[in-house]
């Protein structure tokens, strides 16, 4: 059995679910457009530049989840899936996932985006396991704070190793391991798997992939 890991945003999706969720909340009037939209765009640019402070970003991005009851958030998310996410779900990405599933591989999505936003997306892709940034919950409500290690950059490695350890496994337990990603932020994981694959990569990851001989594919 092989291990197949997939980044989500701009890899399986033709866009960024984290960014789009914030824009969706703005359009719904759940947060004030003035200031919030500019900060959302700034954080997204920091992510692309490789300068994102993940804890500063999470303080910003998770705050709206603490401001509304879970029932309302779930209703919004269903609308978000229909309006923003399903149009970004790539057919070639579904085919890639299905090839690994048909091979009997253990499949998981490994994403920095929080689990509330990503869990329904990953279920719709048919991937059985999700490693995402978790959110603290007290008395059934989100607190607006992350729980545990954010699943970002080196944190993805930490979360992956902990998940495998809980299963009694390591990367060496598999005949081969794969990770598909578009972002240079994912190099810490790409360096650890047997098969690193750059998917429609950003400029920095493309340069690294060319230097190291990693395959470059497109799922558009």
Task: Clarify whether residues 160 and 206 are in a common domain.
Answer: yes
**CATH number of 128's domain:** 3.40.50.1000
56: domain range? Answer: 17-87
Query: Among the three residues 87, 113, 128, which one is the final residue of a domain in this structure?
Result: 87
My answer on whether 9 and 49 are in the same domain is no
What's the confidence (pLDDT) of residue 35?
A: 85
What's the pLDDT score for residue 172?
96
Same domain, 10 and 109: yes
- Distance, first Cα to last Cα, the chain: 28
Instruction: Please indicate, yes or no, whether residues 154 and 204 belong to a single structural domain of this protein.
Output: yes
> pLDDT at residue 114 above 90?
yes
Q: With 90 as the cut, is the pLDDT of residue 206 above it?
A: yes
Closest residue by Cα to residue 174 from 89, 106, 98, 100: 106
DSSP letters along 117-160, please? HHHHHHHHHT-SEEEEEEEEEETTEEEEEEESS-SSTHHHHHHH
**Residue 10: DSSP 8-state:** I
Task: Give the C-alpha separation, 202 to 181, whole Å.
Answer: 10
pLDDT tens, position by position, 128-167: 999 999 999 999 999 999 999 999 999 999 999 999 999 9
120 in the same domain as 197:
yes
Query: 146 and 83, same structural domain?
Result: no
Tokens of 216: 């470059």
Q: What is the pLDDT of residue 196?
A: 98
- In terms of domains, do 70 and 165 share one? no
Do 77 and 95 share a domain, yes or no? Answer: no
Q: How far is CA 34 from CA 29, 57, 84, in A?
A: 11, 17, 21
- pLDDT range class, residue 220, cuts 50, 70, 90: confident
89-126: buried (b, 16+ CB within 10 Å) or exposed (e) per residue?
A: bbeebeebbeebeeeebbbbbbbbbbbbbbebbbeebe
Say yes or no: 211 and 113 in one domain.
Answer: yes
On the question of pLDDT at 34 being above 90, the answer is no
Domain end among 68, 87, 106: 87
Per cent of the chain over pLDDT 70 is: 100
Instruction: For residues 172 and 159, state if they share a domain.
Output: yes
pLDDT in tens, 140-151: 999 999 999 999
Query: What is the tens place of the pLDDT at every residue in 179-194?
Result: 999 999 999 999 999 9
Q: Which two tokens stand for residue 167?
A: 């299963």
Please provide the DSSP assignment of 45-78 as one string: HHHHHT---HHHHHHHHHHHHHTS-HHHHHHHHH
Kindly report the average pLDDT of the chain as a whole number: 96
Sorted by sequence, the CB contacts under 8 Å of residue 194 that are 6+ apart come out as 171, 176, 177, 178
What does the pLDDT read at residue 47? 92
Q: What is the number of structural domains in the chain?
A: 2
In this predicted structure, which of 26-35, 81-90, 207-216 has the lowest mean pLDDT?
Answer: 26-35
Pairing of strands 3-6, 106-114: parallel
Report the alpha-carbon distance of residue 107 to residue 177 in Å, rounded: 10
Catalytic positions are 7, 9
122 and 96 share one domain: yes
Boundary of a domain, candidates 66, 87, 108: 87
Instruction: Tell me what pLDDT residue 180 has.
Output: 98
Task: State how far the Cα of 81 lies from the Cα of 56, in Å rounded to an integer.
Answer: 26
Q: Of the candidates 85, 91, 97, 156, which has an alpha carbon nearest to the alpha carbon of residue 121?
A: 85
């Amino acid at each position: 059995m092989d291990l197949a890991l997939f980044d989500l945003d701009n890899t399986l999706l033709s866009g960024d679910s984290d960014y789009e969720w914030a824009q969706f909340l703005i359009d719904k009037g759940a947060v004030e457009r003035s200031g919030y939209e500019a900060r959302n765009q700034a954080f997204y640019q920091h992510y692309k530049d490789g300068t994102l402070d993940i804890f500063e970003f999470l303080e910003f991005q998770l705050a709206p989840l603490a401001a509304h009851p879970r029932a309302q958030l779930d209703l919004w998310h269903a609308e978000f899936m229909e309006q923003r996410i399903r149009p970004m779900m790539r057919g070639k990405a579904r085919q890639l996932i299905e090839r690994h599933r048909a091979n009997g591989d253990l499949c998981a999505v490994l994403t920095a985006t929080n689990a509330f936003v990503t869990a329904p997306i990953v279920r719709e892709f048919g991937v059985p396991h999700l490693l995402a940034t978790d959110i603290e919950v007290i008395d059934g409500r989100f607190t607006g704070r992350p729980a545990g290690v954010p699943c970002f950059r080196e944190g993805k490695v930490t979360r992956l190793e902990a998940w495998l350890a809980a299963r009694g496994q390591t990367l060496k337990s598999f005949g081969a391991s794969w990770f598909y990603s578009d972002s240079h932020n994912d190099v810490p994981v790409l360096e650890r798997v047997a098969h690193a694959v750059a998917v429609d990569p950003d400029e920095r990851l493309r340069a690294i992939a060319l230097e190291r001989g990693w395959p470059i594919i497109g799922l558009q």
